[in-house]
Chains A and B, each alone.
Chain A
Amino acid sequence: MNFILDYYNYWVVVFLMMAGFYIVISANNLVKKIVGLNVFQTSVFMLYISMGKVSGGTAPILVEGVTQYSNPLPHVLILTAIVVGVAVTAVGLSLIVRIKRAYGTVEENEFEHKDDAI
């Protein structure tokens, strides 16, 4: 049981990462690909935050009488990564909007044949 608890977080992270990866490589629809990319991204966040956790520790905000804190460094890295992630998602989505305008579709298998028409 202890063995499972020690690695459970990491295994779920791997599962989520693979779920996101699967969506990205198997989906035709570009919006769904972006969702997959975000699922993948959140799994990386989960990995970092899991590594920063200290059993018996508390949130890294100074409180009287507490000596055990979780690691604040992964929190900082991931906090900024989330905001950059949404900014990148926005650029990706606006590319999709432009693709829709140029090709009339966001299904990957439909517009790859239309390259000559543009």
Chain B
Amino acid sequence: MAELIDLVLLAMLALTALRIIFLKDLFAVVMLFGIYSFLSALIFINLDAVDVAFTEASVGAGISTVLMLGTLALTGRKEKKNSHSSLLPLLVVTVTGAALIYGTLDMPPFGDPDNPVHQHVAPRYIEESPQEIGLPNMVTSVLASYRAFDTLGEVVVVFAAAIGVLALLGIRRKKDSDLESGLKEHKVLHVIAKIVIPHVILFALYVQFHGDFGPGGGFQAGVIAAAAFILYALVFGLPNTLAVASPKFLQWMASFGVLLYAGVGLVSMIKGGQFLDYNKLAADPIAGQHYGIIIIELGVGITVFAVMLSIFYAFSSQAERSNVQ
């Protein structure tokens, strides 16, 4: 049954990608890309990657789509006629694709438990991490403990991206507050948004702190919390949102999250362990692992939230500026 679902969903994914190639209306392209992300999230669930599916649905389908729409508002939604000849790209793609297909024939069959991928470190993570770390969710154990150094690097990359976007665009604070922003005349949206937003934030907190036991964690929670604020900005206008969470505050939060993460590493060094060795954080190694993972996940969540919201501010303040001109 799972194979059948896999077949159908992957075929739908391929069709969506094919349609993206030929559409000229960029608004439709971005919407199709959102569908593409949701479809891939479904496939990830089918392939047992629940944490990945969660991330893809919130980040790929949510934030990416919002950012692309924000860009379209500035650059126009129609793609002009293509002057390139499409023959050469088609040839390159066909040859590369044929070579890759030929390459896949050497790959071990899909889903076989004896595949080389499953022989090296994975058995250790699966068999020993529940005792060593004491958490049922192995993905969180690997992400936040075994490969914590790697994850610290990823958080720094996300932080660097925020610096990049703010350096390129910057956030313009509007002095003239009479500027039309948000959807003032849509009363239904106002009521619904007021009901939905607290629940979204509550859900984000649940995802943040339940990530040790089920799918979820700092990355997903940060994005979901940012989505609540983005919804607020879309319905009630950007100036109101800037008053709730100012860009300055978000910049402090983004760096605070990274420092919190790195700080845990320093504390474990002071306590006589290695960088990010949580065993030393408490007398009992398992309790130390729990403290370490909760704190660094919190750091990840805070940074991702602040970065995503800052990036959204940067794009949407640009869009509002160009509407005025």
Contacts and interface: CB of A to CB of B under 8 A. Distances in A.
Note whether A and B form a binding pair: yes
Interface of A: 5-12, 14-23, 25-32, 34-36, 38-39, 42, 45-46, 49-63, 68-76, 78-80, 82-91, 93-98, 100, 106-107, 109-110
Interface of B: 3, 6-7, 10-11, 13-14, 17-18, 20-21, 26, 29-30, 33, 36-37, 40, 43-44, 47-52, 55-56, 59-60, 63-64, 67-68, 70-72, 74-76, 79-80, 82-84, 86, 89-90, 92-94, 96-97, 100-101, 104-105, 107, 109-113, 115, 117-118, 121-122, 125-126, 130, 136-139, 141-143, 147, 150-151, 154, 157-158, 160-162, 164-165, 168-169, 213-215, 217, 219, 223, 304, 307, 311, 314-315, 318
Contacts of B86: 26
B311 A8 contact: no
14 contacts: A7-B105, A14-B97, A15-B14, A50-B110, A53-B48, A59-B49, A73-B121, A76-B139, A76-B143, A83-B219, A86-B67, A87-B158, A93-B68, A110-B80
A79 B48 contact: no
A55 to B, nearest CB: 4
B66 to A, nearest CB: 10
Nearest to B319: A97
Contacts of A57: 48, 113
B101 A14 contact: yes
B138 A60 contact: yes
A100 B89 contact: no
A7 B107 contact: yes
Given A55-B113, A80-B150, A29 B64 contact: no
B49 A75 contact: yes
Contacts of B147: 76
Contact of B97 (A5, A9, A18, A96): A18
Contact of B44 (A5, A27, A49, A73): A49
Contact of A62 (B60, B70, B136): B136
B126 to A, nearest CB: 5
Contacts of B121: 73
B47 A49 contact: yes
B215 A61 contact: yes
A59 B147 CA distance: 19
Given A6-B110, A28-B80, A60-B139, A83 B55 contact: yes
Contacts of A82: 52, 55-56, 59-60, 219
Contacts of B6: 8-9
Given A16-B17, A79-B51, A29 B111 contact: no
B75 A96 contact: yes
Contacts of B162: 87
A98 to B, nearest CB: 6
Contact of A94 (B89, B96, B168): B168
Contacts of B169: 94, 97-98
A54 B118 contact: yes
